[in-house]
Structure 1
Amino acid sequence: MTLRTTFLGTGGAVPTTRRAPSAVMVNREGERFLFDCGEGTQRQMMRFNTGFDVGHVFLSHLHGDHILGLPGLLQTWDFQDRTDSLAIHGPPGSRRQLRDLIGAGGHDTAFPVRIHEVTPGSVALEGEAFEIRAFETEHRTTSQGYALIEDDRKGRFKREKAEEELGVPPGPAYGKLHAGESVELDDGRVIEPEQVVGDPRPGRSLVYTGDTRPVDATVEVADEPDLLIHDATFDDEMAGRARSTGHATAREAGKIAQRAGAERLALTHISSRYPGDARGHQREAAGVFDGECFVAEDGKTVEIPFPDDE
C-alpha cells in the first residue's frame, strides 16, 4: 500500500538552479495531494514524473514562494481538458486572495475549483481510513502545517490458533472474526474476535510544517510520525535571522523531531545562502535527533512503509 512523498521544491524564497520553491507531492494509494505550490511546480511534476491528477492542494500560507505556481498549473490542467473538480485548502482569510491569484491572468477554468479555509486544529480532509489535519504554525503571516494521519489497522489474524487450538474451520468464519464478529461453532462454542485477532496496528503518518518557527503544535499533531518535513531555512550561524523572519534552523528542526518521536526528518526550505550542498544542516540536526535525518533535494522520493513492515 503506497505512501510516497516526492519533493518537488526544497528551496527558500529565492529559487536557485538546484532548488525550486516549495512544493511536496504525496501519493497515497494512487490519490495525490500537493502541499504548497511554488513557482514552476507544474514543470517539477513533469520532470519527476509524479503524475498530474491531483484532487487536493494544501497551502501553508500565502507567501509567493508557496503559491505562485497555482495559476500556471490550473491553466495547464484546463488545456488538458480536465473536468474533475479541484479543492484548494488554505489558512483562514485566504479565499479572496486565492481567488484573485487564480484569476490574475484573466483565465477562468472550465473545471470547478473550490477554495476551503481551514482552521488550525480541524480536519481539512477526511478520506477513507485517513485524515489530513491542519495545525497552527508561527511565521510572519497567518500560517499552518498539515498532518496526514492514517487510521489504525486491524490486528493480525492468528490463523494457526484459530484452526489448531480453537478448531475454527477455514472459510467465512475467519472473515467474520477478523471483522469483529463472534462466531458460533457446530459444537456450540462461541469464539470471540479478541481470541484470534491481535491488537490494532498503527497506520502511517507524515507531518508537513511549511514555513515556521519551532512550535509545540508540530509535536502534538501526530503520534511519532513516520516522516516530519520541517522548515530548516538556516544553519546555527543564522539563528538570529531565523527568529526575525519566522523560520527555523536545522538544529531547531532536529529538536522538534526528537520531541515528536519522529522516525525520519526531512529538512527543507533551504535558503539560497547555501548554494552548494547543505550537509552542515544535516550534521546540526543529527546532533540532536536520534532518527534518520536528511536534507531534502528536488526530486527526492521517500517511501513510507507500515511500521511493522520495516
Structure 2
Amino acid sequence: MELIFLGTGAGVPAKERNVSATALKWTERKGRTWLFDCGEATQHQILHSPVKLGKVDHIWITHLHGDHLFGLPGVLGSRSFQEAETPLTLFGPEGLRRFVDTVLTVSQTHLRYECEVREVTSGVVYEDDDVRVICAELDHGIPCFGYRIEEKDRPGSLRTDLLQALGVPPGPLYRRLKAGEDVRLPDGRMIRAREVLGPPKRGRIVTILGDTRPTEAAVRLASQADVLVHEATYRAREAALAVKHGHATTVDAARTAERAGVRTLILNHISPRYGVEDEPELLAEARAIFPETYVARDGWCYSVISRD
C-alpha cells in the first residue's frame, strides 16, 4: 500500500505545490488505485507519477470546494480517451452527482466506461472482501468528510513445518488451509486451519481527512491508524485565521494525531503563503507534540508498512 501525493497545497496552485489530490495505490491488488480529491490539474500531476488512470477505480471527494474538485472533469474525460473501460465509482457529498452530470452534459463528454456516483453520509460507505471505508463529517463550513480506510485482518502464515510433520502433502490442501478452511485427509483425520496458521496479520488503517477545524470526528476516524493525512493549512501562530476559515494548524493536526494514537502523521494542504524555506518551521511545530510527523510534498510517495 502506497500513498502518492499529487497535490499538497491549499486554495490555489503554487509553483511548489498544486492543489489537493492524493492517490492510494494497492500494490498488493495488482496496482488498483484510489484517488482522494481531484483539484485542478490533477491529470497533469498524474503524468509525472506512478499513477495510471486506467487503474483508478474509486475516487473519493472530501468536499465540493474547487481546489478539491475542479480537476475531476479532466480526469474523467482523459480516462475515457485512454480507452479505459473498467467501471469507476465516485464518492462524495451531496451535490457531486449534479456536478458530474452537468459538466458531462454541457461539455458533451462521452465516457466509454460505467461511472457511478454515490453521495455519502457518515458511516460505512464501502466494503469488499479486503477493505472497509468509514466516513464522517468534519468541521469546515460546508459539508466535508474524512475517510478511514481499514484493511481487513489477513490469515496468518501457514505452518508448513507442522503440516509436514502431520504428513499433509503440499498442494491444494495447503491453499484451502491458508484460506482458513478445515480439511479432511484421505485417512479420515481432520486438520483445523486455526491449528496450523500463525497469528492473524493485522490490517493497515489509513485516514485521509478533508479540510477541517479540530473536531472529535477526526479523532475517531484516525483512532489507532497507521497513517493520518491531516490538513495543516496554517502554522501555529495563525490559529485565529485557521478558525475563521475552517482549517487547522500544524499544532491542531499534531494534537489530533496524539489523541488518536496514530503511528504516523503526514501534514498536507499547506497554504501557498509558505514556501519550501518554511517547511522546517511547520515540521518543528508539529514534531514538538507528535514526533513521527512528515510534511507532504508534490510527488512524494510513502509506503504504508504493516505493524506485523
In the superposition, the TM-score normalised over structure 2's length comes to 0.89
Q: Residues 102 and 145 from structure 1, CA distance in 2 versus in 1: closer, same or farther, beyond 3 angstroms?
A: farther
Deviation at 1:35, TM superposition (A): 0.5
Matches within 5 A, 1:115-264: 115-123=117-125, 125-164=126-165, 167-171=166-170, 172-183=172-183, 190-221=190-221, 223-264=223-264
- After TM superposition, the structure 1 stretch with the greater mean CA deviation from structure 2, 47-56 or 6-15, is 47-56
C-alpha distance in 1, partners of 2:63/2:48? 25
Match of 1:6 in 2: 4
Q: Residues 201 and 49 from structure 1, CA distance in 2 versus in 1: closer, same or farther, beyond 3 angstroms?
A: closer
Indicate if the aligned counterparts of 2:77 and 2:111 stay in contact, CA closer than 8 A.
no
Q: Residues 294 and 102 from structure 1, CA distance in 2 versus in 1: closer, same or farther, beyond 3 angstroms?
A: farther
Indicate if the aligned counterparts of 1:120 and 1:134 stay in contact, CA closer than 8 A.
yes
- After TM superposition, the structure 1 stretch with the greater mean CA deviation from structure 2, 29-38 or 67-76, is 67-76
SS of structure 2 residue aligned to 1:56: strand
List alignment gaps of at least 5 residues for structure 1: none
C-alpha distance in 2, partners of 1:188/1:263? 47
Indicate if the aligned counterparts of 2:212 and 2:246 stay in contact, CA closer than 8 A.
yes
Deviation at 1:299, TM superposition (A): 0.2
- CA deviation vs aligned residue, 1:237-269 (integer Å, no higher than 9, x gap): 111111111111111111111222222111000
Deviation at 1:286, TM superposition (A): 1.0
Indicate if the aligned counterparts of 1:227 and 1:263 stay in contact, CA closer than 8 A.
yes
C-alpha distance in 1, partners of 2:139/2:122? 12
Aligned alpha-carbon RMSD (Å): 2.2
Deviation at 1:188, TM superposition (A): 6.4
Match of 1:44 in 2: 45
1:78 aligns with 2:84: no
Q: Residues 270 and 203 from structure 1, CA distance in 2 versus in 1: closer, same or farther, beyond 3 angstroms?
A: same
2:260 aligned partner, one-letter code: A
1:221 aligned partner, one-letter code: L
Match of 1:15 in 2: 13
SS of structure 1 residue aligned to 2:22: strand
Indicate if the aligned counterparts of 1:205 and 1:227 stay in contact, CA closer than 8 A.
yes
Indicate if the aligned counterparts of 1:149 and 1:222 stay in contact, CA closer than 8 A.
no
Q: Residues 163 and 17 from structure 1, CA distance in 2 versus in 1: closer, same or farther, beyond 3 angstroms?
A: same
Match of 2:296 in 1: 296
List alignment gaps of at least 5 residues for structure 2: none
C-alpha distance in 1, partners of 2:307/2:35? 24
Q: Residues 159 and 283 from structure 1, CA distance in 2 versus in 1: closer, same or farther, beyond 3 angstroms?
A: same
- CA deviation vs aligned residue, 1:93-124 (integer Å, no higher than 9, x gap): 432234334445x232232332210112122x
SS of structure 1 residue aligned to 2:135: strand
Q: Residues 74 and 195 from structure 1, CA distance in 2 versus in 1: closer, same or farther, beyond 3 angstroms?
A: closer
- After TM superposition, the structure 1 stretch with the greater mean CA deviation from structure 2, 108-117 or 27-36, is 108-117
- CA deviation vs aligned residue, 1:135-165 (integer Å, no higher than 9, x gap): 221111001011221110102223334444x
SS of structure 1 residue aligned to 2:53: coil
- After TM superposition, the structure 1 stretch with the greater mean CA deviation from structure 2, 109-118 or 237-246, is 109-118
Match of 2:281 in 1: 280
SS of structure 1 residue aligned to 2:24: strand
2:139 aligned partner, one-letter code: E
1:279 aligned partner, one-letter code: P
Q: Residues 16 and 181 from structure 1, CA distance in 2 versus in 1: closer, same or farther, beyond 3 angstroms?
A: closer
SS of structure 1 residue aligned to 2:23: strand
- After TM superposition, the structure 1 stretch with the greater mean CA deviation from structure 2, 57-66 or 174-183, is 174-183
Indicate if the aligned counterparts of 1:75 and 1:107 stay in contact, CA closer than 8 A.
no
Deviation at 1:234, TM superposition (A): 0.6
SS of structure 2 residue aligned to 1:88: strand
- After TM superposition, the structure 1 stretch with the greater mean CA deviation from structure 2, 3-12 or 74-83, is 74-83
Indicate if the aligned counterparts of 1:70 and 1:102 stay in contact, CA closer than 8 A.
no
Indicate if the aligned counterparts of 1:16 and 1:275 stay in contact, CA closer than 8 A.
no
SS of structure 1 residue aligned to 2:136: strand
SS of structure 2 residue aligned to 1:89: strand
Q: Residues 188 and 94 from structure 1, CA distance in 2 versus in 1: closer, same or farther, beyond 3 angstroms?
A: closer
1:6 aligned partner, one-letter code: I
Match of 1:99 among 95, 98, 101: 101
Deviation at 1:80, TM superposition (A): 2.7
- CA deviation vs aligned residue, 1:40-84 (integer Å, no higher than 9, x gap): 100000022321221221100000100011122223233333433
